[in-house]
Structure 1
């Protein structure tokens, strides 16, 4: 007599963990009045920073290609595109354009609490499009923004090896964030929010191989569009798995070699991920920021002419080399992921802003010469926001610049004043000073805005 066969566990058999549903229920029930004042203030900061980044990229050649393509293929004039003189695109096309603009210069916010995620570009691009679909006040937008942040970051924390698989998290987790935030903005119930997360997650994509190309920021735009589409479908009864995050073939298991489903709902309502967001003072990959801070410090403190520098020894976290180890970038976009380039312009120019990551600066003779002086080593003991630069001059003098926490991170945050200066500088590319200041003033009192379309109109 043969032994009884073991019970077959099919790929989509229910686990009954309820993680996606717990997250969705929290989002559906979240109200502006539930939010601590510090979280509301962080939402203002996040919106201000992202709008500035989008306006700064509005004149980039990449956007001309994208917008010309939409014009050639046809797109209904429904939702506005920031900084484009009143141009409107379809309800699912405008998020692509705005999401791409927000992330195009790699100047947008970055959450580093277990993930490296540019949450605002996909999330806010989806929310602003849907704010044209139905009247939305600032308070509802803030609640939706917070909701999307929770969903995107927590999904990433529950999939700790997700980045190691080569996925670009802004495209994958960004879709989840946008879907959850859009569902909250539309006032969907817990079941519909669950389905919106599932519909968004099943569309999630974006590969790290495309760093330094126009595709990287397209990931943010497509994630925004996928999230908006997911919420609109869910509102009409389109469904998905109720266990899309934690299921046997759910997001955190197939997009990551390890899964920690308990992290999805851990501390919901007690810890808000938006309050741990970071903002970029430098227009490049965030893991480069510690070494840039160190090189700028050397620029000011050492003052050694470039031709009198023998070499610069950089110690960085291994993650910095893994993500940004481009030795010879051939374009401005690619130079945003080059340690040698970033270290060179930071020392030569004393800055690492938009001007330091153009095609022209990527091929400049002084930058090319200084790149050869940079020697990089990794330090496992370092945190991701830590670095050290040591400059050795030809005459033997040595200068050291250790950075414990990069500027703009949670442990070394940008002040409101610094964030506003960044915004005004970015917005000046597309708006005059008076208009830029009007936008900033309106965002600093975002919860008092009764119709988001009035704010968006200032940004067109």
Structure 2
């Protein structure tokens, strides 16, 4: 059965089995996630997450808080439209803080977790279906919670050294206990709740508990990844291909397809953001120049939550293209300040958002690149950028130096540099408890005072 095959491969995974570029990619995921966790300590979510984590005990609470903070700003890495690395990292950091663990074991566990999450994502398939006009739109039922639980359980099982049989039971327990696919109901809101399409902390906790429960002797419904009543049927996945969960095991690696985000906003609007940044850089446009702007997006994201010009909540600001575009035009460094209520309510921000509208892009569609076009009226002229007009900068990246720059922009150097050193040489570390302690002590770079000062300076005299 698929569960047993996948579990056997991941339970037996050793670092020499993993190509060097895949190991490096795992370090990037870990470092980027840690940066997002630390940056999120400067957001309104920090006390909420801390209070919830406090209900769970030290190890489980750490898994919950690390995963939810890593995901809460929508600034963490993505893979095929899903965020599940936070589940693997959340579980790993919790285990590293409370149990003896060497770095080589930790890196192998992180690889197992991300690769498992990616394989479950591939097996679930895209969450789009053809709309009335034949163009892709969101399916009525979709979700990206299950992958978080599987990434967490695979990391935990490998870190604990569970054998293949117990690991398989853990996987099936994680699938049985994972959250419902609430994406369709969630995305109908405009002022989005802060739990998003799933509570990533709960997903990490689900995986951690499943592995510990299996280790203690709990047994599940077996073979959840196969058969007519499989996990994929229960998820209502319209494009599922369960065979992809185990396709090319040991030959195909997914970590190198992770992409790291340039901005704290939904990756689905990254095409519009990149086109806008390319236009601004090419034409030298400033916020004061903008009279009106239209961003054309693919039909799948031509939805009210993406067009919201007055996002009232922390998460609504992550999914509002007018808000994210305003932050980019105002040249505010991507940080917690982008999502703060003070920056969102500032008159300069509000005025700029109100000038930005969305409409459907009518050109050739490619969901992989999400082509977009931007038209801006500024200084009495019309400026335009679309596919082939202005070469946009990358909206996401896979590059060690870019990961390091992002980390250093988000984490204060007196606490952050030691984390970088430890992560980039993690396989040589005999004990990860010093790294866990450094992460607990690390502080985010303050971003709000400078952002507000920048906005105040733009208020017309």
TM-score class, shorter: 0.7 to 0.9
| 1:260-275 pair list within 5 angstroms | 260-275=241-256
Q: Does 1:341 align with 2:330?
A: no
Q: Give 3-state SS (helix, strand or coil) of 2:199's partner.
A: helix
In 2: Cα distance, 1:306 partner to 1:35 partner: 47
Question: What is the RMSD computed on CA atoms of the aligned residues?
Answer: 2.4
Matched, 1:185 2:185: no
The alpha-carbon deviation at position 297 of structure 1 amounts to: 2.6
TM-score normalised by L of structure 1: 0.84
How many angstroms apart in 2 are the aligned matches of 1:408 and 1:148? 25
1:69 Cα deviation after fit? 4.9
User: Is residue 400 of structure 2 the alignment partner of residue 416 of structure 1?
Assistant: yes
Q: Is the 8 A contact 1:296 1:351 kept in 2?
A: no
Distance 1:68 1:381 in 2: 44
CA distance in structure 2 between the aligned counterparts of 1:393 and 1:45, rounded to whole angstroms? 39
Say if 2:415 is the partner of 1:395: no
| 1:224 counterpart = 2:204 | yes
Change (3 A) 1:63 1:168: farther
Distance in 2, matches of 1:155 and 1:40, equals: 20
Once residues 43 and 360 of structure 2 are traced to their aligned partners in structure 1, the CA distance between those partners, rounded to angstroms, is 34
Q: After superposition, what is the alpha-carbon deviation per residue over 1:182-224, rounded to whole angstroms, capped at 9, x for unaligned?
A: 1111111221111111111112116335574321387111111
Q: Which moved more, 1:399-408 or 1:364-373?
A: 399-408
Is the partner of 1:95 in helix, strand or coil?
A: helix
> In structure 2, what is the equivalent of residue 55 of structure 1?
38
Once the two structures are TM-superposed, the CA of residue 301 in structure 1 deviates from its matched residue by: 2.7
CA apart distance, 1:351: 5.1
Alignment of 1:152-231 (within 5 A): 152-160=117-125, 164-169=139-144, 171-205=145-179, 207-208=182-183, 209-210=185-186, 212-216=192-196, 219-231=199-211
2: distance between equivalents of 1:390 and 1:357? 25
CA displacement 1:375-408 (0-9 Å, x = unmatched): 3233352334333322233523424264777625
Partner secondary structure for residue 330 of structure 2: helix
Instruction: Name the TM-score, length of structure 2 as normaliser.
Output: 0.83
Per the TM alignment, residue 235 of structure 1 is displaced from its structure 2 partner at its CA by 1.2
> Displaced runs of 4+ in structure 1, greater than 6 A?
403-406
In the alignment, structure 1 residue 363 sits paired with structure 2 residue 323: no
Alignment of 1:37-436 (within 5 A): 37-71=20-54, 73=55, 76=57, 89=58, 91-112=59-80, 116-160=81-125, 164-169=139-144, 171-205=145-179, 207-208=182-183, 209-210=185-186, 212-216=192-196, 219-255=199-235, 256-322=237-303, 324-349=306-331, 352-379=334-361, 381-385=365-369, 386-400=371-385, 402=387, 407=394, 409=396, 413-428=397-412, 433-436=413-416
The whole-number CA distance in structure 2 between the counterparts of 1:36 and 1:20 is: 24
| In 1, Cα distance between equivalents of 2:4 and 2:127 | 21
Change (3 A) 1:166 1:371: farther
Structure 1 unaligned segments of length 5 or more: list them. 1-17, 77-88
Indicate if the aligned counterparts of 1:291 and 1:389 stay in contact, CA closer than 8 A. Answer: yes
Q: For the Cα contact (< 8 Å) 1:316–1:382, is it kept in 2? A: no
Q: Deviations over 1:164-189 (max 9, x none)?
A: 354441x2210111112211111112
1:265 and 1:414 map into 2 onto residues whose CA distance is 25
Q: Deviations over 1:361-388 (max 9, x none)?
A: 2222233222333232333523343333
Q: Taking structure 1 as reference, are residues 313 and 69 closer, same or farther at Cα in structure 2, changes over 3 Å only?
A: closer
SS at match of 1:185: helix
Deviation at 1:241, TM superposition (A): 2.6
User: Where does structure 2 lack aligned partners over 5 or more consecutive residues?
Assistant: 129-138, 441-461
Q: Distance in 1 between matches of 2:279 and 2:38?
A: 31
Write the distance in 2 (CA, Å) between the matches of 1:228 and 1:372. Answer: 44
Q: Is the 8 A contact 2:96 2:432 kept in 1?
A: yes
Q: For residues 440 and 272 of structure 1, do their structure 2 counterparts lie closer, same or farther at Cα, with a shift above 3 Å needed?
A: same
| Contact 1:104-1:217 at 8 Å conserved across structures | no
CA distance change for structure 1 residues 59 and 319 in 2, over 3 Å: closer, same or farther?
same
Deviation at 1:277, TM superposition (A): 0.4
Separation of aligned partners in 1, 2:247 and 2:52: 43
Q: Following the alignment from structure 1 to structure 2, what is the Cα–Cα distance between the partners of residues 180 and 283? A: 27
How far off is 1:52 after superposition? 0.8
Give the Cα separation in 2 of the matches to 1:288 and 1:168: 18
Residues paired across the two proteins, number: 417
Counterpart CA distance in 2 for 1:28 and 1:449 is 21
Cα distance change of structure 1 residues 167 and 327 upon mapping to structure 2, 3 Å threshold: farther
Q: Is the 8 A contact 1:154 1:264 kept in 2?
A: yes
Task: Out of 160-169 and 339-348, give the one that drifted further.
Answer: 160-169
Structure 2 CA distance for partners of 1:48 and 1:66, relative to 1, 3 Å: closer
CA distance in structure 1 between the partners assigned to 2:65 and 2:424 by the alignment:
25
